[in-house]
Copies of this chain bind each other. A is one copy, B any other.
Amino acid sequence: MNVAFIGLGVMGYPMAGHLQKAGHQVAVYNRTQSKAEAWVETYGGTLGITPAAAAEGAEIVFCCVGNDNDLREVILGEQGALKGLKAGAILVDHTTASAEVARELYQAAQQQGSHFLDAPVSGGQAGAENGVLTVMVGGDQEVFDRAEPVIRCFARQARLIGAVGAGQLAKMVNQICIAGIVQGLSEGLHFAKTVGLDAEAVVEVISKGAAQSWQMENRSKTMLEDKFDYGFAVDWMRKDLSIALNEARKQGAHLPLTALVDQFYAEVQSLGGGRWDTSSLIKRLDAFKQR
């Protein structure tokens, strides 16, 4: 199938690669063109000089960029993908963005006879590289059914959660849960170290019960080793939490802990940790302790 991929960041680069390896003909676009050139050299496929050029002739155009504004530019802009998109084609957006921009793009696609799915992912860089992402999708069932087999090239699971925007809202739930888990785990490990416990032994025991979490199983060891290069960066988490907090404000949901943890992440940024992974909340607690 002719497809396109717009945005070859740490996520998009390997995702697009899985599409090409699965036998699809992929046209790629990236703002920094040298990256797109490197991709074509590695995988084959073709280079689009603009998003519109990449989208031309594609059945499905995938997109994975930074934020709402980047999205509007590469989709709705002068040379945006919608300009090249043929009638009946599907635009699948893997960016974590607002539900609002998802609705905006859905309508813009509809107006020219094409389709849109908001489809943010979880699983991180490792999930993208190994093709085992989880994809949370909002949009129409028949459009999802057409896109799903292709999405599966880089995903272990893809699920339609509801109408347009529902994928983004589900991703927000994911990030809200993580914020609480990571801060709780950080306080637990910080406490363990402060009172002189063998923290690894404690984790081994409590990770079989009600305190267990993916974060505990996968991050506590590196947190205790003061290593924060193992996952999703604080700068990106803050973007995601700001989207969730804005949506909550609009709809009247209460997120006191999420708001607080967002502020803690701001303090991690002030410690120079914008590129550390999200488990660096413990470093903020330890930093107070050292003074």
A residues touching B (Cβ–Cβ < 8 Å)? 99, 122-124, 134, 136, 156-157, 159, 161-162, 166, 169-170, 172-185, 187-192, 194-199, 201-202, 204-206, 208-216, 218, 231-232, 244, 247-248, 251-258, 260-261, 264, 285, 288-289
Contacts and interface: CB of A to CB of B under 8 A. Distances in A.
A258 B192 CA distance: 14
Integer count of this chain's copies in the complex: 2
B206 A170 contact: yes
Given A134-B209, A173-B189, 18 more contacts: A136-B205, A136-B206, A161-B198, A162-B196, A166-B197, A169-B192, A170-B205, A173-B211, A174-B209, A176-B187, A177-B184, A177-B211, A180-B184, A187-B253, A187-B256, A187-B257, A209-B214, A253-B285
Contact of A159 (B174, B188, B205, B261): B205
Given A169-B197, A180-B183, A209-B214, A191 B244 contact: yes
Contacts of A199: 173
Given A170-B206, A209-B214, A214-B209, A184 B194 contact: no
A256 B173 CA distance: 22
16 contacts: A123-B209, A136-B202, A157-B205, A161-B201, A166-B197, A172-B191, A173-B191, A177-B206, A177-B216, A178-B211, A180-B184, A180-B257, A191-B247, A194-B252, A210-B214, A256-B264
